[in-house]
Amino acid sequence: MGVKIQDTLNYLLVALLAIIVALGLSSLILIWQGSNPWQAYAALFAGAFIGMGNLGASLVLALPLMLAGLGIALAFRAGIFNIGAEGQLYLGAMAATIVGSRYPGLPFGIHLPLALAASCAAGGLWAFIPGYLKVRRGFNEVITTILLNYIGVYFVDYSVNSFLKDPATFAPQSPPITATARLPKLLAGTELNAGLFLGLLVAVILFIVLYKTDWGFQVRAVGSNPEAGRTAGMNAGKTLLVTMVVSGALAGLAGAVQILGYQNILLQDFSPNTGYDAIAVALLGNLNPLGTVAAAIFFGALRNGANTMQILMGIPVTIVYIIQAIIIVCVLAFSKLKIRLINFKLREGVQ
């Protein structure tokens, strides 16, 4: 069996083991609260997947996590830690709203792509700032991206209370998105929209780019060993900067999908912590585009099923966030263990 296939299978086992451990530890909390874990998880599963309405809602919640997670996975692959997806997502949503709520005379084929492009540009430009500071000035990108998150989120909150506020209402919200800038619905009776195709397309393209192109090889090489990359003639600084911009553009696109796909207005605090949760999605997906898609769907299902679990069982939805956190901790812990086991097996096979 090839090393890559062995690594993939072992990581799937790691992820499965992490999920089982997380559910087991969460079961102890449920038992302590006086709830039946089997009934709770059955309600969660039913709320996430049983019925087209529930399945559509789970996928809708997964869409922004998917796109932002893909951007984060790309940046992490290059060795630059983009923690700024939250701010990039908010500014992408604001840019999409500015374009999407105006120019009602534009045809659908121009208006929607323009709004999506605006979101990518806003997210990419916001990511360019910490990328430039990292490459040219040596600033720590973790600190700069976190600080820029606050600026981005609060600036969007300011916008819906001032220059972007809908004059027809007293609420802090933007004017509605015009019909020509909205993503088409895919499933009647749900909010599932063409953003799903967009997310899957981005994942496939990113997978091909990362593993089948020279630039993707440079990204992975620089992320693994920047000095070796420079020795081999690669422009590590340029690779990091371009990767950071693309990562921010995908986070901005995640914000656009939320606004143009189902919310249709920009609200204050419209998507709290989605950018941070996308980091967990990328890590659970092993920084692989296809794995990130699966992790996003899993997290979306957890969130949607939690509502049903709360209604039927009276269990707070916060238990889902505990499960998410335990899963990520277990993945990080078990991955080290599995790597050692893989190496041992490979050596044993060679002998």
- pLDDT at residue number 335: 63
In the 8-state DSSP scheme, what is residue 15? H
- pLDDT at residue number 23: 85
- In the predicted model, residues of the chain with pLDDT beneath 50 are 1, 338-351
- pLDDT at residue number 195: 94
Count of alpha carbons within 13 Å of 210, Cβ hemisphere only? 22
- pLDDT at residue number 4: 64
- pLDDT at residue number 347: 44
- pLDDT at residue number 173: 93
Provide DSSP, 216-279: HHHHHHHHH-HHHHHHTT--HHHHHHHHHHHHHHHHHHHHHHHIIIII-S-BTTSSTTHHHHHH
- pLDDT at residue number 3: 54
- pLDDT at residue number 267: 94
Both tokens of 45, joined, read 């599963």
Count of alpha carbons within 13 Å of 164, Cβ hemisphere only? 26
Domains observed in the chain? 1-35+315-351 (no CATH), 55-307 (1.10.3470)
- pLDDT at residue number 278: 94
Could you report the per-residue pLDDT of 79-92, keeping only the tens digit for each?
999 999 999 999 99
- pLDDT at residue number 263: 92
